[in-house]
Amino acid sequence: MLPGVTVEKTFFRIFLSRFRGEIEIKYHHPILEFRPLRIIFLLLFAVSALSSCARPGPQTLSIVDPVHQAKTVVILTATDRIPDDKKSGAFTSGRSDRLRYSEVTVSIPPTHRPSKIEWPVADPDPRRSFAVIGRRELTAEEFAALARGASKSPDYGRAGIFVHGYNYSHQEALLRLAQMAADSEVEERAILFDWPSRAEVTGYVADKDSAAFARDDFAQVLADLSRAGVRPTVMAHSMGAWLAVESIRQLSLMGKKDVVRAIDQLVLAAPDIDIDLLRKQLSVTDRLAKPIVVLASKDDIALALSKRLAGSVATAGSLDVDDPRTRELAIAENLDIVDITKVPSLNGTNHDRFASLAAIYPQLRQGFSTPVAGTGAVLLNGVGGAISAPFRLGGAILVQ
């Protein structure tokens, strides 16, 4: 455990450890000089090409019979998407005027590799792919009670909430959380807050509006969990980080300090939030019990596109831990900023590195030892100190 970080065992709290990267991507090309629109087009093309493999459709959610060799994880979901009337358990990108809750049991194939999602080629086959083997709808009260967990469990009252980012479908968000929960091998309840992303690379502006649309609903989920005695760790990715911070800001302005205090920790993975906006949001947000953790990568292609589209100077997810201004921000806003630039990327955009960290939790929890060249953790904590904690990666744990 790094000095100054007070966290317990949970598949989201592992993101507080741990990697230092020193890769900087610089674009120098005479044709591209002073042509921002062309740069935006090329960045958009790159992101689209890197994520344009055939994407899983609603058939991924078909319920199948379990197999004995497969591991299972249970996911609680809260969504304000409109249900797909053509497929039971599926959802569209439409915005619903109410929250819907469910409990979904996902089977993890015996051949599963850490950080990967083994998508079905056609119909789900639990021997070879992730598969849904159970689903039931819940009331808000049932959802909150299940989130609290069993009274005799050591994780009673603890839960991890995943808020997905831009360009996610319901099935993609659900199975990404199932992968992280399976790889981390912890028992606390896993909760998905699924807001109505368009799940299209070209849907960035529409997703911004949908994230804003979902603020009240996520605030409601946090309030319901607080009343039920749940202390969640919120792990919000990309545009979902803006949604999470904005919802907590809203709760603060409404005077719901008890709900904000119930949040055990907030982790922002590759947050797509303008730095000035984040500072403004936090200025009127009640301070959380623990520092907000920011997982940043200096070579995040998706955030580079976001900066170009929005005309931002910098986003919180692309901060450079070596920049003195980053240190000043950490001090002022009680942040722990972790550089994960050297964590392997899942799809080439360098925007989903957070999902790999769950895979090495079994190794990390055994403690730190001899460093491997080129690795080590840099944490800028809330008092502005840089803490190095080298450790052994255990061979090719992170090789994709």
Question: How far from 216 is each of 9, 72, 86, 283, CA to CA, in Å?
Answer: 30, 32, 28, 20
Cite the DSSP H helix spans in 153-235: 170-184, 204-213, 215-227
Edge-to-edge strand list for the sheet holding 91-108: 131-138, 91-108, 71-83, 189-194, 158-163, 231-237, 265-269, 292-296, 335-339, 378-380, 386-388
pTM: 0.79
- Alpha-carbon distance of 332 to 347, in angstroms, equals 34
More confident residue, 172 or 322: 172
When pLDDT is cut at 50, 70 and 90, the band that residue 331 belongs to is: confident
Whether 117 has a pLDDT exceeding 60, the answer reads: yes
What confidence score (pLDDT) does residue 310 get? 60
**pLDDT tens sequence across 221-247:** 999 999 999 999 999 999 999 999 999
Residue 268: its H or E element: strand 265-269
- Cβ neighbors of 22 (< 8 A, separation 6 or more) are 322, 341, 342
More confident residue, 36 or 332: 332
**What single-letter amino acid sits at 12?**
F
CA angle 348, 356, 390 (to 5 degrees): 110
Nearest to 246 by CA among 290, 205, 213, 199: 213
**pLDDT tens sequence across 357-371:** 776 544 443 432 322
More confident residue, 179 or 318: 179
Cβ pair 291, 381 in contact under 8 A: yes
What is the residue-averaged pLDDT of the chain? 77
**What single-letter amino acid sits at 165?**
G
- Indicate the range of 24-38, 76-90, 186-200 predicted with least confidence: 24-38
- Alpha-carbon distance of 116 to 223, in angstroms, equals 33
What confidence score (pLDDT) does residue 262 get? 97
- Indicate the range of 232-236, 242-246, 250-254, 352-356 predicted with least confidence: 352-356
What confidence score (pLDDT) does residue 399 get? 27
When pLDDT is cut at 50, 70 and 90, the band that residue 19 belongs to is: very low
